[in-house]
Amino acid sequence: MFRSMSHVRTESAARYINRLCKHWGHKFEVELSAARGFIDFGDSNCELLAHPDHVLLVLNSPDEDSLAHMQNVVADHLQRMASSESLEISWQAADS
3-state secondary structure 32-93: ECCCEEEEECCCCEEEEEECCCEEEEEEEECCHHHHHHHHHHHHHHHHHHCCCCCCCCCCEE
For residue 12, what pLDDT band results from cuts at 50, 70 and 90? very high
pLDDT(89) > 80 = yes
Res 83: pLDDT: 86
- Which class does domain 2-83 fall in? alpha beta
For residue 96, what pLDDT band results from cuts at 50, 70 and 90? low
* Residues in the chain, overall count: 96
Q: Is the pTM of this model over 0.85?
A: yes
Res 84: pLDDT: 85
- What digits encode the pLDDT tens for the residues 62-78? 999 999 999 999 999 99
